[in-house]
Structure 1
Amino acid sequence: MSARPESLIERAARVYDFNAHLRGRADAPVEAVAVEEPVAARVQDAAPTGTLAAIPAEFLSDSDDDGLDEWIAPPSDVAMIDRTMLAEMGMLVPGAPVGALAEEFRLVKRQLLLTARIVAEGPLRQRARTILVGSGKPGEGKTFCAINLAISLAAERDVEILLVDADFAKPDVLARLGVDGEHTGLLDILADARIDPEACVIRTDVPQLSLLAAGKRSHSDTELLASARTGEVLDRLLAANPKRIIVFDSPPALAASPASVLALLVGQVMLVVRADRTTEGDVQEAVQLLDGCDEIHLVLNAVSYEPGRGRFGSYYGRGE
């Protein structure tokens, strides 16, 4: 008897490990999650359903004889985003049902997109399509927010997102997305004018989302960022794709100097403020260091949930 052909789910399971959440990572730490609203507990509860994320349409062919769409392996130069890992960390999962966290980031990105239009009318022009996500001190959730913001923005119809890991001392963006290996990144590009920035952009299997690694660590990271080469690289990346929005995950402003240099180059800053940790003095000092950018937005993270507030928790069935 000949073996039956694999189903779509069986073929997809070789790429997306749908059963990983059953093995579980009970001891894995989950970064605090609230963005203007406490969603940490609700997102953790929703994580298992989020692992069954939609398979990108570009990797499905027309139906075969059994009536199912056929799985097509993505090109070798396309990085596979680990949706199971995202779900286990309580983060947005591309293609998953809309929940409270997705709605919070919809509000955040809408304000950023509206501001970008205004900034584009001024002297920055195409630099209006650049956003720096940072914090005052480590542990306030800026990488968590940068990744979620990029995933949320990538769901827009008319934009393409380039998420840049600019936390050179502790790069973590690619690892959190499950992208392995060493990649030529921003510091390498800045240090060597022969490197084509566009050639270093990493395509992913999330439609409209690409990545740029931090690059080889250097003791001259701030000086490289302060050079004229940085502006040239940014302008080349923006000019290469008129729909592109660049999101930087920067180092904490009070812990490393590159953040203040990057703030001079971008259209907007999204400063993550952790409600249970960041002091008013920390916020004021961070804003002063980042005031090279005229548009600074504060996003409150890790807010305690208050039943009856009437935000997205109860609407999506997680009001208790």
Structure 2
Amino acid sequence: MSIIEKAVNALSKGGGNTGADAVRGDLAGRDRSSSSTVERASGEAGSVSRTPDGESRHSAPADHGGYERTSSVSSNYVKLNFEDLRDIGILTPSVPRSAIAEEYRTIKRPLLMNIAGDDAVPPIKHGNLIMVTSALEGDGKTFTSISLAISIAMEQDKTVLFVDADTAKAEAGRILGIPSDTPGLIDVLEDNDIALSDVILHTNIEKLRILPAGDLHTHANELLASDRMRQLMIEMSERHPDRVIVFDSPPLLLTTEASVLASFMGQIVFVVSADMTPQHAVTQAIEHIGEDKMVGMVLNRARRRSNPYYYTYGEVYGYGRDRQYEYDLHGESG
């Protein structure tokens, strides 16, 4: 049985963990009795809607109250509101020593190793194209993709392009405070006169750029499967060797766009919500991913173990269905 199959099977055994017990560590300075960072974030996230004046508003649950997102967008620049992002559990560079920052250091490390390669294992082809996806809605893939992008942007030698590729919902853009009418990916695919550089947004995180979803289009699937998209992927991957491109993708079982995007990727981070995502949905979704892809599984909202030296996540990496290895992830993801 493959490592990924074992991880999928573990989802049905309860306890919210993958059963991978090899990795232990000291959670110094961390409140082990509280709910996980990402569990809290997911519970507080609520929904993001557009107000009549065009501003994004985060609709938080009762007891927290709503607040208006204050990210500012001008020309090709967006100033991210770190306080807003931190309030809903997303990693920000303003608190580099937080628990969630440590967790994403662990998530990103094997991804970056796959990009660089070493003497024993060559780098993965287009390994700097990383898609974050899930089987269904609500598993935490958008929170995971944003935090992962910010975490990689905090590296000394990497720049990051975050792509809101869930073009139907553009949830990442709403969370980041980017107006829905901001040109982006779909506009580049639809109009050959629009260059990628025309729509990329710089941010107040020095090494982070954002490519918004762009115009909502009825033929988004055809555009994402087009030769123009393939050329764009090659350009993204090869033009800047130090750049990592993180895609927030639609759920694999809800749209055909996700499968199309997966065909371009070098690595895929697959987010599963513990005790929530059905095992059959995970198995079915993985079948939508090509055999040649490096797939990492992140178990989200896992319950804490009674032993404080165990971390609350499991992550499994497999190269296709043949070459596989297992890795335990320390922490939570959203």
Q: Same fold (TM over 0.5)?
A: yes
User: Residue 127 of structure 2: SS of its match in structure 1?
Assistant: helix
Q: 2:169 maps to what in 1?
A: 170
- Cα distance in 2 between the residues matched to 1:200 and 1:76: 9
Q: 2:131 maps to what in 1?
A: 132
User: Residue 231 of structure 2: SS of its match in structure 1?
Assistant: helix
Indicate the RMSD between aligned Cα atoms, in angstroms: 2.8
- Cα distance in 1 between the residues matched to 2:211 and 2:17: 25
- Cα distance in 2 between the residues matched to 1:130 and 1:291: 15
- Cα distance in 2 between the residues matched to 1:223 and 1:42: 36
Q: 1:103 maps to what in 2?
A: 102
User: Residue 133 of structure 1: SS of its match in structure 2?
Assistant: strand
Aligned-pair identity (%): 33
Q: 2:192 maps to what in 1?
A: 193
Q: 1:223 maps to what in 2?
A: 222
Q: CA deviation at 1:146?
A: 0.3
Q: 2:207 maps to what in 1?
A: 208
Letter in 2 for 1:105: Y
The question of 1:283 aligning with 2:282 is answered yes
Does the aligned pair in 1 maintain the 2:17–2:303 contact within 8 Å?
A: no
Q: CA deviation at 1:75?
A: 8.4
Structure 2 gaps, min length 5? 1-15, 19-31, 45-71, 313-334
Q: CA deviation at 1:210?
A: 0.7
- Cα distance in 1 between the residues matched to 2:229 and 2:73: 32
Greater per-residue strand proportion: 2
Q: CA deviation at 1:159?
A: 0.6
User: Residue 128 of structure 1: SS of its match in structure 2?
Assistant: coil
Q: 2:88 maps to what in 1?
A: 89
Q: CA deviation at 1:84?
A: 1.4
User: Residue 298 of structure 2: SS of its match in structure 1?
Assistant: strand
- Cα distance in 1 between the residues matched to 2:291 and 2:229: 16
Greater per-residue helix proportion: 1
Superposed CA offset, 1:42-77 (max 9, x none): 966xx9xxxxxxxxxxxxxxxxxxxxxxxxx99864
Letter in 1 for 2:290: D
Letter in 2 for 1:175: R
Instruction: State the aligned residue count.
Output: 251
- Cα distance in 1 between the residues matched to 2:17 and 2:200: 29
Structure ID, larger Rg: 1
Q: CA deviation at 1:195?
A: 1.2
Does the aligned pair in 1 maintain the 2:76–2:200 contact within 8 Å?
A: no
Q: CA deviation at 1:266?
A: 0.8
Q: 1:254 maps to what in 2?
A: 253
Equivalences for 1:53-132 in 2 at 5 Å?
A: 77-118=76-117, 121=122, 125=125, 127-132=126-131
Q: 1:39 maps to what in 2?
A: 36
Which shows bigger deviation, 260-269 or 89-98? 89-98
Q: CA deviation at 1:285?
A: 0.6
- Cα distance in 1 between the residues matched to 2:205 and 2:281: 35
Superposed CA offset, 1:80-105 (max 9, x none): 00111111101112221412211111
- Cα distance in 2 between the residues matched to 1:226 and 1:155: 32
- Cα distance in 1 between the residues matched to 2:39 and 2:222: 43
User: Residue 90 of structure 2: SS of its match in structure 1?
Assistant: coil
Letter in 2 for 1:111: P
The question of 1:308 aligning with 2:295 is answered no
Q: CA deviation at 1:35?
A: 10
Superposed CA offset, 1:244-275 (max 9, x none): 11000000000001110111101000000001
Q: CA deviation at 1:207?
A: 1.6
The question of 1:265 aligning with 2:264 is answered yes
Q: 1:149 maps to what in 2?
A: 148
Does the aligned pair in 1 maintain the 2:76–2:202 contact within 8 Å?
A: yes
Residues 147 and 277 (structure 1), Cα distance of their counterparts in 2 relative to 1, 3 Å cut:
same
- Cα distance in 2 between the residues matched to 1:221 and 1:102: 34
Letter in 1 for 2:233: L
Which shows bigger deviation, 140-149 or 89-98? 89-98
Superposed CA offset, 1:115-149 (max 9, x none): 22349946x64x22100000000000000100010
Q: CA deviation at 1:173?
A: 1.2
Q: 1:11 maps to what in 2?
A: none
Q: 2:8 maps to what in 1?
A: none
Q: CA deviation at 1:158?
A: 0.6
Q: CA deviation at 1:239?
A: 3.8
Letter in 2 for 1:96: V
Does the aligned pair in 2 maintain the 1:198–1:237 contact within 8 Å?
A: no
- Cα distance in 1 between the residues matched to 2:75 and 2:192: 27
Q: CA deviation at 1:151?
A: 0.8
Q: CA deviation at 1:302?
A: 0.5
Q: 1:25 maps to what in 2?
A: none
- Cα distance in 2 between the residues matched to 1:208 and 1:223: 31
Residues 250 and 308 (structure 1), Cα distance of their counterparts in 2 relative to 1, 3 Å cut:
same
